Structure 1
Amino acid sequence: MKKLVALLSLLLLVGSVPASADTLAEIRARLAASKPADYPTQPIEFVVVYPAGGGMDTTARLLAKYVEKYAGHRVIVVNKTGGAGFIGHTYLATQAKADGYTVGILANGAWTDAMLKAKGKWSHKNFEAVAFVNYAPVTWIASTEGRFKDKTLKDVVATIKSEPGTVKIAVVPSISFEFLAEQVETLAGGKVVKVPFQGGAPGVTALLGGHVDVATGFLSEYRGHLDAGKVKVLAAAAEQRAPDMPQVPTFNETLDAKHLVWSAWRFAAVPRGVPTARKGYLEAVLAAALRDPELQAEYQKTGSIVDNPYANAAAVDAAIEKSATLERQFFTTTGRLPK
């Protein structure tokens, strides 16, 4: 009981005081004092359901580094890929042990897969959040040597309308990447060729190889190529222009719409049933890491937005439930789910 009270006090303290206000030694000492006696005694795994090199993978590896900094425990990032994320989501929901040693670094695709692919065998409620991490808008990019090297998003949409079935767009099936392409098809009045990949990074590789005309992805998946002048950003599916890409228009402003908003909303979660003390310790360690100014700066470099409006993990779970409800409405409206 004393350990649990200490954890609750630590969560309140970490959530209200900037990481820079205390020394690293002081934060580590408080975390150590609240650590369960039997946990952790082995490395903690951060599970990513998309390939190495992508936005989720980058997010997880940066977070792992800073969790190790504050907790002093080894954290291993494991990529469980396949089925555009479905294999990893299913593993976390139905097979991973609820012992605190497996933490999913997840995004919106977790509840998308639950609704569209799981066939009732599991849902997003099989997970319990331990932290909100960050979010990043979905973008379209073109090669600076390809078909749309000197074109804008309006030009691409005009081509979709005038030459239907000729524009190849890299997507990840059954997530925001594909949904955005479908919405643009509707606005353009023409079809595109949606080329499926397991993640954003493979799609960027295909773009550079001339195999697709447009790639869908997050800034972290092509930042190096953007800096090298190999790709350009056509638009971002955000409510407003991103602070780190103020020159990039949004889909909404370019296409005179209001509904083209898609992002990777990233969070950390454990299989439901992890002992309260272990879950509380994970929440405290993650909160400390995520408030580190250096980690926040590294995330911002990848194009992620780090503002955290959630007071605790329960608030993150509530936000997930709200988002899942809205997404279910979208799937019902588009005929993916029965009314």
Structure 2
Amino acid sequence: MRLFTLAATALLALAGTAATAQTDYPARRITLVVSASTGGGLDGIARLLSKRMQEAWGQPAIVENQGGADGLIATQRVAQSPPDGYTLLLTIPSLLLLKHNSKDLGFDPVASLAPVSELARTPSAIAVNVKSGIQSFKDLVAFCNRAPKPCTWGTGQQLSYLYGRRTFALSGITDTVNVPYKGTGPVVTDLLGGHIDIGVTSIAAPLPHHQKGALRILAINAEKRAPQAPDVPTFQEVGLNVPARGSWYGLFAPRNTPPEVIARIEALMRTLGTEPASQDVVRTLGADPVFGGTREFAAAIREEETFLDGLIKQYPLKK
């Protein structure tokens, strides 16, 4: 597959010595471009990285939220930046879906980037407003199938749209209308306001409101229940026979970024993976910390692209 071929080849040559290569990076401000609006899990992890980069390197690291167009705006912003490590992208597997949206992008979003680190993994979730009276996923199916008008469900990116389509098809919910947003934060805002019936997001955005009793997460797509919400069953527990698969949060640089710069960033990510405080921040967002290496992340992306390509054949994306 074409995925990250050039970047992966260069990085594999680093072996163990690149991590200690001498470089003056960073010598100035770093910009972390987030492919989502504020308020979600990806944004929360970006804030963590900003803080730790500044502490470790003595240079400011600012967060720039570029939600919209399913991550394309943020991806273009980074892909077209100088390959020097000073403009980095935080995004999710929706990156791998951009090629299905249009044949006229003018660039290859995936090949234009170099993977640096898989930061965390988070399950997808189905959430409702507690005022709806829906207590369980079974209640949701009954509610939507007897409602006088289609149930509305909000998504912040096409990955959630794809997972929502599959969830409703397998659960027997027959009449729904999708409402797209520029990130998971606005989905939760409208769910709290009663403007949509269902939110399909990662667990991070609705989790604080579930814990406070304003929203109810009905199920998560994970192998086991989340420690932050032990009352929430998994998809398997509610009868949805789907692979236990959620989303990753990943860090990328522009393609052709010098290997020694990528190695410096990767080394800091691995350090965060050993810090209990950093891991705790990620867990409060409903995610499992990873902070893995570049080669492992590149392999995970190849596998993820194959999975998503197969899923799209079953549930075509909305153009």
Query: TM-score, with normalisation over the residues of structure 1?
Result: 0.82
Kindly provide the CA deviation profile for residues 73-107 of structure 1, in whole angstroms up to 9, marking residues without a partner as x: 221111122213221123223x1221110111121
Name the amino acid aligned to 1:36: T
Pairwise CA distance, 1:269:
0.9
Q: Which residue of 2 aligns with 1:106?
A: 91
Pairwise CA distance, 1:335:
4.4
Pairwise CA distance, 1:154:
0.8
Between the two proteins, what is the percent identity of the paired residues?
25
Secondary structure of 2:43's aligned partner = helix
1:51 aligns with 2:32: no
Task: Select between 83-92 and 110-119 the one with higher mean Cα deviation.
Answer: 110-119
Q: Which residue of 2 aligns with 1:143?
A: 129
1:298 aligns with 2:281: yes
1:242 aligns with 2:226: yes
C-alpha separation in 2, matches of 1:164 and 1:63: 46
C-alpha separation in 1, matches of 2:103 and 2:74: 12
Q: Which residue of 2 aligns with 1:22?
A: none
Q: Which residue of 2 aligns with 1:90?
A: 76
Aligned mate of 2:169, from 174, 186, 194: 186
Which runs of at least 4 in structure 1 moved beyond 6 Å after TM superposition?
none
1:313 aligns with 2:294: yes
Structure 2: runs of 5+ lacking an equivalent: 1-12
CA contact (8 A) 1:115 1:123 kept: no
CA radius of gyration, larger in? 1
C-alpha separation in 1, matches of 2:103 and 2:208: 36
C-alpha separation in 2, matches of 1:278 and 1:7: 14
Q: Which residue of 2 aligns with 1:126?
A: 112
CA contact (8 A) 2:158 2:317 kept: no
C-alpha separation in 1, matches of 2:235 and 2:149: 21
Pairwise CA distance, 1:228:
2.4
Aligned mate of 1:331, from 283, 308, 312: 312
C-alpha separation in 2, matches of 1:243 and 1:119: 43
Q: Which residue of 2 aligns with 1:230?
A: 214
Kindly provide the CA deviation profile for residues 232-277 of structure 1, in whole angstroms up to 9, marking residues without a partner as x: 2111022332233222111232124134x44220111101101122
Name the amino acid aligned to 2:35: V
C-alpha separation in 1, matches of 2:167 and 2:37: 26
C-alpha separation in 1, matches of 2:114 and 2:103: 18
Task: Select between 180-189 and 60-69 the one with higher mean Cα deviation.
Answer: 180-189
Q: Which residue of 1 aligns with 2:54?
A: 68
C-alpha separation in 2, matches of 1:158 and 1:117: 36
CA contact (8 A) 1:35 1:281 kept: no
CA contact (8 A) 2:93 2:247 kept: yes
Pairwise CA distance, 1:223:
3.5
C-alpha separation in 1, matches of 2:62 and 2:157: 27
Pairwise CA distance, 1:7:
9.7
Kindly provide the CA deviation profile for residues 264-321 of structure 1, in whole angstroms up to 9, marking residues without a partner as x: 201111011011221211211222233221000111111111146x5x3112111111
CA contact (8 A) 2:119 2:290 kept: no
C-alpha separation in 1, matches of 2:251 and 2:234: 28
The structure with more helix, counted as a fraction of residues: 1
CA contact (8 A) 2:118 2:290 kept: no
Secondary structure of 1:291's aligned partner = coil
Name the amino acid aligned to 2:43: D
Secondary structure of 1:77's aligned partner = strand
Secondary structure of 2:118's aligned partner = strand
Q: Which residue of 2 aligns with 1:24?
A: none
Secondary structure of 1:296's aligned partner = helix
Kindly provide the CA deviation profile for residues 107-139 of structure 1, in whole angstroms up to 9, marking residues without a partner as x: 111111233346463131221111110011111
CA contact (8 A) 2:167 2:240 kept: no
Structure 1: runs of 5+ lacking an equivalent: 12-30
Query: TM-score, with normalisation over the residues of structure 2?
Result: 0.86
Name the amino acid aligned to 1:81: G
Give the aligned length.
304
C-alpha separation in 2, matches of 1:114 and 1:315: 23
Aligned mate of 2:200, from 185, 206, 216: 216
Q: Which residue of 2 aligns with 1:154?
A: 138
Pairwise CA distance, 1:336:
5.0
Q: Which residue of 2 aligns with 1:169?
A: 153
